[in-house]
Amino acid sequence: MLPNRIVAIGSSAGGIETLCALFEHLPASVDAAFFVTQHLSPSYQSKLPSVLNRCTRLKAVHPPTEGMVVERGMIYVAPSDHHLLVEGDRVFVARGPKENRFRPSVDALFRSVAYVYGPRAIGVVLSGALDDGTSGLWSIKRLGGVAVVQDPAEATFDSMPVSAIEHVEIDYSLPVAAMAQLVMRLAAEPVARAPDGVEADRQRMRLETSILADGDAFSKGVTQLGDYTPFTCPECAGVLVRVREGGGARFRCHTGHGYTSGALIIGIVEKTEAGYWAVMRGLEEAAMLLDAVGGTQNAVGDRATATLFREEAARAKMQSRELRRLVLSEQRVGSEAVGAAVFGAVGDGD
């Protein structure tokens, strides 16, 4: 029998201490199951279950790929470089396409929990950078679940809760110390009735979760999610589809990568910068080769050819220096523009 409540929790920078502060006040008898996605480097082997097991009476685990039954009193933690997802009464992990440049993704977890559990779901956004969690929390709220964020004034990094507050109708914004009591109260109350008129959104969430489960976006009908755009995916250069969500939009490519507007801007800026550095490397390699050939020609007495090669080497060095100056100058401007876009007019809907 499923727990009365399914609690999906997302955090990033500053989130581990916050998670411990939340779970240490929850009894093992609470009628809820917990799902946690904490952003991690893909090369880092997550020790979060061990950390949580030292500060809570609940049991924290990394679920296996094949799935395990959802049980109350359990904390299911996303392992490194894998999305944490649910299907029916089962929990599983999958190494599908990245969402908002991350795997695991908070939005992927929240959206999966929203479509499966609807009004049973409680979404919690804790300390973290940028806007991951906003779209997923909108999904939980849209299908009748409860939206909770950490009080931004308390969060070590307030970007994730601030973004959620700006773009989602939040039910509770409170300090972590008060969250355990809230979860226990909600877990003891009857679950509200599912809202009307949300089946189309629910089926979209189901499709997107399926895409992240196995990455087979094109054959699953990713183009059904919205209209093609002129934008391309920074990860794979695939064409992006615009996914309408509330008053805003997200993007997904035909191989499955997903982005909020802010994450897409960051991805494009990073890809452009990488292109600049590749050009600089090419110019510097050309300059070294031209210098070497010029030295060889000079050694055999062909000074005219040597001079020609060395002049070309000097030109390549000058071009590399000019490009480097431009890139380092544009980085400062670009970072300001990205910050304004992530938390300005390009929201995820409300």
CA distance 142 to 136: 10
> Is 39 labeled as catalytic in the residue annotation?
yes
State whether residue 163 is helix, strand or coil.
helix
Distances (CA, A) of 49 to 5, 35, 56, 102, 209: 21, 11, 10, 20, 24
Q: Which of 75, 54, 73 is nearest to 63 (CA)?
A: 75
CA distance 6 to 69: 13
Active-site entry in 39, 83, 167, 257: 39
Name residue 207's amino acid: L
Q: Are 12 and 160 in contact (CB under 8 A)?
A: yes
CA distance 167 to 301: 72
Active-site entry in 107, 131, 132, 348: 132
Burial 84-115 (b: 16+ CB within 10 A, else e): bbbeeeebbbbbbbbbbbbbbbbbbbbbbbbb
> Is 12 labeled as catalytic in the residue annotation?
yes
Pull the structure tokens for residue 238. 């695939």
Q: Are 126 and 10 in contact (CB under 8 A)?
A: yes
Q: Which of 1, 60, 65, 68 is nearest to 34 (CA)?
A: 60
Active-site entry in 11, 12, 135, 210: 12
Place of tokens 């997107």: 208
Name residue 22's amino acid: L
Residue 192: other Cβ atoms inside 10 A: 12
Which residues, including other chains, have CB under 8 Å from residue 238's CB and lie 6 or more apart?
Answer: 232, 253, 254, 255, 257
Which positions are catalytic?
12, 39, 132
